Amino acid sequence: MAKDAVERKHQRLFDNVDQDNDGEITREDYQELAHRIIQAVQVTPSSEQARRLEDEYDRAWEAVADAAGVEPSDSLTLEDFCQAMARQAADEKAFNRNFGPLGEAEFSVADTDHDGRVSVQELQKVLEATGAARGDASQGATQLDNDNDGFVSKDEYLKAWRDAFTSAKAESPVMGKV
């Protein structure tokens, strides 16, 4: 059961990244996901936060490609992607090294006033841009606001972000129910 939930999360991620629905994902698909987030939170594309997000999505793609045993210029099928992500998720140090900075970059781009927290509404935009349905994004962002002050801290977001890809739970504030 635990493996099934993690695999379903990886399948959902694949589907969210594969916006052209061609059954494969590429570096360009990862970059498009970064651009969707940048547009959703209305950050200037040339800003430091936007460039960092693009760089971290690129690094994450390289880590997935490496785990799949392909060149970064190649594409991945759903099966290859899920196997690569399972290898990454099973190794906490590798996951944190390869994907932790991406979670931080996502949070940073949403933290437009640089106060170390994002509003529930800003986080909802990020979650929708990454493929969460509007209702799931709204509910997930609200769930992460532990003290009901209308904001989510960086630590709250990063824990939920990591759990979304590594936890055996079938539900995640970041991805919804899988």
Predicted pLDDT at 45: 95
| 61 occurs within a structural domain | yes
pTM value is: 0.88
| 119 occurs within a structural domain | yes
Q: pLDDT tens digits, residue range 82-113?
A: 999 988 888 889 888 888 999 999 999 999 88
User: Positive or negative, the Cα torsion across 92, 159, 24, 43?
Assistant: negative
- Collapsing DSSP to helix, strand or coil, 12 comes out as helix
Domain that holds residue 113: 2-171
| 178 occurs within a structural domain | no
| 176 occurs within a structural domain | no
| 25 occurs within a structural domain | yes
Predicted pLDDT at 1: 38
CATH code, 60: 1.10.238.10
Name the pLDDT band for 114 (thresholds 50, 70, 90).
confident
With a CB cutoff of 8 Å and minimum separation 6, the contacts of 119 are 150, 151, 152
Please answer whether residues 172 and 162 qualify as being in contact, where contact means their C-beta atoms are separated by less than 8 angstroms.
Answer: no
| 163 occurs within a structural domain | yes
Name the pLDDT band for 58 (thresholds 50, 70, 90).
very high
| 177 occurs within a structural domain | no
Provide the pairing of β-strand 151-153 with 24-25: unpaired
Domain count, the chain: 1
CA distance 65 to 59: 10
Please answer whether residues 141 and 147 qualify as being in contact, where contact means their C-beta atoms are separated by less than 8 angstroms.
Answer: no
| 23 occurs within a structural domain | yes
Q: pLDDT tens digits, residue range 156-174?
A: 888 887 877 777 776 666 6
Predicted pLDDT at 178: 54
